[in-house]
Amino acid sequence: MTETARRRARRLFVVAAACAALPTAPALAAPDQLSLIEDETFMLDRGPEVQAQTLDEAKALGADIIRANVIWARVAPSPTSTKKPKGFDGKKPESYGAALAMFDSLVAGAQARGMQVLLTPTGPIPAWASRCKGSAAARKVCKPDPKLYGDFVRALGARYPTVKYWSIWNEPNLGSWLSPQYEVVGGVAVQRSASLYRSLAKSAISSLRATGHRTTTDQIWLGETAPLGDDPSGCSAQRSLRAPKSCASRIKKTSPETFLRGVFCLSKSGGSLGGAEGKDQACKGYKKLGINGYAHHPYTRGGSRPPLSKTNAGEITIGVASRLTKLLDQAGKRKRIPTKLPVHYTEHGWQTNPPGVNDIFAVTDAQQSEYINQSDWIAYNNKRVKTVAQYKIVDDVNIAAGFQMGLRLFNGGARKPAYDAYKLPLWVADKGANLTVYGQVRPADAGVAGTVDVQNAPAGSSAFKTVATVPVTSANGTFTVEVPDTGGVWRLSWNGMTSRQAEVASK
């Protein structure tokens, strides 16, 4: 998960978004966009029965992909020892014993239900896989050995030949997942996690290829980056791959823009990184990375602000995705990666405030629903975005345990309003004299023709009437339709289910 330091949410209830002119017939801006759900607590930690129930629920919600972080230290033998176990061969799947059983059943269960699985091999790492000194606690994310990481990925690749979606490391621009972010070299703080991540990625890509997972048959994604970064007083993590010496220990998060400039060896203008910074980042002899997608977590302030909230320099949230595609295109031009790389949102959501939690940085339940659907609309209109994500089906038990971004409450499992909002997304946008209604029937089976009713009720009334019946023929159940602006509130009706109500701002 990302961004544990949450900021106070501005209590804005966004009810409209500007949009470009759309035709009256369904406009398929993103007809192939996939829906991803991640909830390791209920899919990995609660036993086989709960895992099966949760996979059933994910399928009913309309998930196409299930994501899971494969924590290296969780499945490796002797994870707190500073010495690798005698005779241990990390390349062999059988070396991990029964530790991977939970993933075996996850993969089999998801695929049996028609869903794909995205595995993200990542830290924390076994202490013996660190190139740092000190205790096991000091080593848990510090300078993982690329060769040993490659062995781990190779074992996973061999064990799961039917898994076709892979991504490399979770949130490598955060010190809680990969360290050091900055390190003192020659009297200055030098960005370190970017070049370290590149070496891990090269090793992982090679290992996946060696076990039959290639970009011609599989999806292999770089990134899984967090959206924000630190910029402590006097430091410049948002702007530079070098910072004052005193910043090295203070920068716990690197902005994704700065991080990616280091990963791809790009100057601020998009050219090749040279000079001292190029040397810092080991840019000489750069070889193109064999990937076919980029994964990102586009949260707005840890899920505490509206999707289009103002951002700081170097940050990449869902509202400023162009910053990411610009960097990817610059890297493609320099032959660091393939050109026009697709973007996949693989972790996303909004923090709420369930009973007994008392999180002052959370949004309301109504805002969570609204922001989920607004984000769907934003992503729908971005042809580079091929996957959208929902982090968690069920809230964690409390703030200390994790996050309350779920569609259901932890205590009793009651559904939040966001449950139906996720299942049947709706966004109504002002378009002059008319309105554009965007919707999605997320659980609809791909390629199965059907219809959804767009309904309206006058303000203050609960008497809904069908305004338009729209064919849902896209692969992912998305559609848009233009309707007269009659005021009031709007909803969708499909197979006996209705969406949340929505309205637009007055003109």
- Tens digits of residue pLDDT in 378-428: 999 999 999 999 999 999 988 888 899 999 999 889 999 999 999 999 999
pLDDT level of residue 449 (50, 70, 90 thresholds): low
Q: In whole angstroms, how far apart are CA 439 and each of 135, 485, 494?
A: 52, 17, 11
Predicted confidence at residue 235, as pLDDT, reads 86
Contact (Cβ atoms closer than 8 angstroms) between residue 426 and residue 437: yes
What are 337-349's pLDDT values in tens digits? Answer: 999 999 999 999 9
Whether pLDDT at 29 is above 70? no
The DSSP code for 414 is P
Predicted confidence at residue 276, as pLDDT, reads 96
Percent of the chain surpassing pLDDT 70: 93
Average pLDDT of span 259-267: 98
- What DSSP assignment string belongs to 55-115? HHHHHHHT-SEEEEEEEHHHHSSSTT-SSPPTT--TT-GGGGGGGGHHHHHHHHHHHHTT-
The CATH number given to 34-423 is 3.20.20.80
Whether pLDDT at 435 is above 90? yes
pLDDT level of residue 69 (50, 70, 90 thresholds): very high
Average pLDDT of span 432-440: 91
Predicted confidence at residue 402, as pLDDT, reads 85
What are 93-139's pLDDT values in tens digits? Answer: 999 999 999 999 999 999 999 999 999 999 999 999 999 999 999 99
HEC profile of 140-166:
CCECECHHHHHHHHHHHHHHCCCCCEE
Predicted confidence at residue 273, as pLDDT, reads 97
**Any idea how long the chain is?**
507
For residues 169 and 105, what is the distance between their CA atoms, to the nearest angstrom? 22
For residues 83 and 365, what is the distance between their CA atoms, to the nearest angstrom? 48
Average pLDDT along the chain = 91
Q: In whole angstroms, how far apart are CA 249 and each of 179, 324, 349?
A: 10, 27, 30
Predicted confidence at residue 417, as pLDDT, reads 95
Q: Where are the domains of the chain?
A: 34-423
Whether pLDDT at 3 is above 50? no
